[in-house]
Amino acid sequence: MAPKKPVSEFKHLLQPIKIGGVELPNRIAMAPMNTLMSMDNRGFVNEQVMAYYAARAKGGCGLIITECILATQLAAKFPFTTNLHCYDVSFQPGLAELAETVHAFGAKIFAQMSIGFGRQGHNHYGESPPAPSVVPYGVEPEMMPKSFVKVVQKFPQAIEGAGGHTPYEMTVEEIRQQEDEFANSCKFILMAGFDGIELHAPHGYLEHQFLSPRSNKRNDLYGGSLQNRMRFLLEVYFKTREAVGPKFALGMRISADEHLPDGFTHKEALETARLMGEYGCDYVHLSDGSYEALKYFFPDRDGTMLDEARNFKKVVDVPVICPSVHDPKNAEKAIATGKCDIVSLGRQMFADPDWGVKVAEGRSGDIVRCKRCNECLIRAQMGLPVRCIINPNTGREKYMPEYWRPPVKATSVYKMNMPPRLPKHTVPH
Ligand SMILES: Cc1cc2nc3c(=O)[nH]c(=O)nc-3n(C[C@H](O)[C@H](O)[C@H](O)COP(=O)(O)O)c2cc1C
Ligand code: SF4
C-alpha cells in the first residue's frame, strides 16, 4: 500500500544519529519504564520481558532503553515494586538473551542502571532505606498531575501509605562500597552484549537525593556546595567509566529541575550536565520533577520538557534526549529546530508499540494515541504488571509469535564484549 504521506515530513526524526560509537537508525527511543513483567520479584528476564521489548524494537524504536535495573544488592532490597536486577553474574544470561532479542529486531539497547531508590525505596518489611540524610519524602496532591488525581479517586487504595519510610544516613564507607558494586554490575551489562548504559539519576532517586539540598543535609564531602552534592554522581560515573572502558556508550538521565523549595534547580542541573559532558558522558536524557513533584515527571501535556531540553543543548556537545513528545509532528519540529536530538516515548509505547513504523511508512494518522490517563502507572503502583486501557496486548506479548525471536542466519557468529583489562598488580613478596 502506498504511504498516505511522504516520509520526508519526518525526515529529521528518521535520520540516524550516533551516541558515542553507537549508530542509531533514527531519533526514536523507548523511554525506560518499569513494567513489573519480571513477575517473580527476583529480577530475572523472562519470556514476557523479551517479547515486550521485541515488540517496541520491531515497531520502529531505534533505541530501547530498559526499565531501571537495580544494580546493587542493597538497591534490590528496596524496590518500589518489582524491578529487573543485575547485581551478580546470575542475571547475565537473561540479560544477554534480551540484548540478542532486541538486536534481532533491528534496534540498539541500553540498560538503565540504578544504584538505588534511596528514601523513595520501600520494602515489605518496613526497613529503613539508605539515603544521604534522614529526610523522608511526602506526596502532596497539588503536585500530582490532574490525570493522576482522577485515577487515584478511582483507586484510592493505590496511594494508601504513600510516602516513604524514614531513611538512614549512609556512611562514607557504604557510599563507596555501593559505587564499587554498581560499577562492577555494569560490566555484566557490557558482557551481556548491550550497546550502552544509562545512569539513573533523575526523579528523586538516590543520585538525585545527593544532588538536591532538599534531601541532602550532609556536612561532609558529599553535602553542602553543588560540587560536593555532585560528588556521588561523579564518582559513580568515573568508576563505571573505568569498568566499561572509554568506548562503551555511557550516558545519564537527570531531572531538568526538581521544581520544589530547596530542591535541585534547573541551573544546577545544567551545570551538572555540562560537567558530565566535559568528562566524557556520551548523552544526556532528561526528565523532570520527582515523586514529590509528580506532575513534572508524568506530564498531562505533550512536549512540556522541550524548553528545558533546549537549555541543555546549549551546554553540552553530546546528544540530548527529551521524553514525553507523543505527537510525531511535535517530535519532528523539536529535532528540526534543535531543541533536542532524540525523543523518548514512555506511555505512548504502551499504547502503540508501532509508533516508529507508522511514522516511517507515512501512516502517522494511524497511531493510537496515549490518553495520558495514568491507569498503567496506577497498576504498577499496585505492584501489578503494566496494562494499557487502549492496547489490550501490552503485557501479553509473549503470547504473540510475531514477537518471538527469529532464528539467526547460519552464517552469524556471536560477538563477546569484554571489559577493559585491569592494570597488572605487583605481587607482594
Ligand atoms: C509505568 C511507568 C514506569 C516508569 N519507570 C521508569 C523507570 O524505570 N526509569 C525512568 O527513568 N523512568 C521511568 N518512567 C518515566 C518514563 O520514562 C517517562 O519519562 C514518563 O513516563 C514521561 O513520558 P511519557 O509521557 O512518554 O510517558 C516510568 C513511567 C511509567 C509510566
Ligand atoms: S493506560 Fe494506556 S492510554 Fe492510559 S496513560 Fe497508560 S499508556 Fe496511556
Buried b (16+ CB within 10 A) or exposed e, 74-83: bbbbbbbebb
**Is residue 24 a part of any domain in this protein?**
yes
**Is residue 412 a part of any domain in this protein?**
no
Give me the percent of the chain exceeding a pLDDT of 70.
Answer: 94
Ligand nearest to the CA of residue 346, numbered in listed order: 1
Ligand 1 binding site (Cβ under 6 Å of any ligand atom): 31-34, 67-68, 112, 200, 202, 253, 287, 298, 323-324, 345-348, 376-377, 380, 386
Task: Summarize pLDDT for 221-242 with one digit per residue, the tens.
Answer: 999 999 999 999 999 999 999 9
**Is residue 379 a part of any domain in this protein?**
yes
Residue to mutate, 345, 374, 382, 384, ligand 2, most ligand atoms under 8 Å from C-beta = 374
Give distance in angstroms: CA of 25 to centre of ligand 1: 23
φ, ψ at 407 (rounded to 5°): -65, 145
**Is residue 414 a part of any domain in this protein?**
no
Ligand nearest to the CA of residue 29, numbered in listed order: 1
pLDDT of residue 123: 82
pLDDT of residue 41: 66
Give distance in angstroms: CA of 371 to centre of ligand 2: 6
**Is residue 212 a part of any domain in this protein?**
yes
What domain range includes position 199?
A: 7-402
CB of 351 sitting under 6 A from ligand 2: yes
Average model confidence (pLDDT) across the chain: 93
**Is residue 425 a part of any domain in this protein?**
no
Q: Comparing 74-88, 194-208, 288-302, 390-404, which segment has the lowest mean pLDDT?
A: 74-88
Ligand nearest to the CA of residue 371, numbered in listed order: 2
CA 379 to ligand 1: nearest atom: 1
**Is residue 128 a part of any domain in this protein?**
yes
Q: Ligand 1: which residue has its CA nearest to atom 10?
A: 32
Residue to mutate, 348, 388, 391, 396, ligand 2, most ligand atoms under 8 Å from C-beta = 388
Is 222:216 a contact under the CB 8 Å cutoff?
yes
d(CA 293, CA 258) in angstroms, rounded, equals 7
- Asked whether residue 167 carries a pLDDT value surpassing 80, the answer given is yes
Q: How far is CA 227 from CA 172, 196, 268, 394, in A?
A: 16, 27, 10, 43
Residue to mutate, 30, 34, 325, 349, ligand 1, most ligand atoms under 8 Å from C-beta = 34
- Asked whether residue 429 carries a pLDDT value surpassing 80, the answer given is no
pLDDT of residue 8: 84
- Asked whether residue 159 carries a pLDDT value surpassing 80, the answer given is no
CA 31 to ligand 1: nearest atom: 17
Task: Summarize pLDDT for 68-82 with one digit per residue, the tens.
Answer: 999 999 999 998 778
Q: What is the CATH number of the domain that holds 394?
A: 3.20.20.70
Residue of 116, 138, 113, 139 lying closest to 129 (CA atoms): 116
Residue 162 pLDDT class (50, 70, 90 cuts): low
Task: Summarize pLDDT for 24-36 with one digit per residue, the tens.
Answer: 999 999 999 999 9
As a whole number, mean pLDDT of residues 275-300 equals: 96
Our CA angle for 301, 116, 284, nearest 5°, is 50
Ligand nearest to the CA of residue 33, numbered in listed order: 1
d(CA 311, CA 95) in angstroms, rounded, equals 35
What is the reported pTM? 0.95
C-alpha grid cell, residue 247: 568506548
**Is residue 429 a part of any domain in this protein?**
no
Give distance in angstroms: CA of 427 to centre of ligand 1: 48
- Asked whether residue 246 carries a pLDDT value surpassing 90, the answer given is yes
Residue 150 pLDDT class (50, 70, 90 cuts): confident
Residue of 246, 264, 262, 243 lying closest to 254 (CA atoms): 264
Give yes or no: 205 in active site. yes
Tell me 394's DSSP state: T
CB of 350 sitting under 6 A from ligand 2: yes
d(CA 80, CA 186) in angstroms, rounded, equals 21
d(CA 266, CA 257) in angstroms, rounded, equals 4
Cβ neighbours, 10 Å, residue 313: 18
Q: Ligand 1: which residue has its CA nearest to atom 5?
A: 33
As a whole number, mean pLDDT of residues 408-429 equals: 69
Catalytic pick among 205, 222, 291, 296 = 205
Q: CB under 8 Å to 361, separation ≥6 — which residues?
A: 3, 7
Q: Ligand 2: which residue has its CA nearest to atom 1?
A: 388
Give me the percent of the chain exceeding a pLDDT of 90.
Answer: 80
Domains in the chain, number: 1
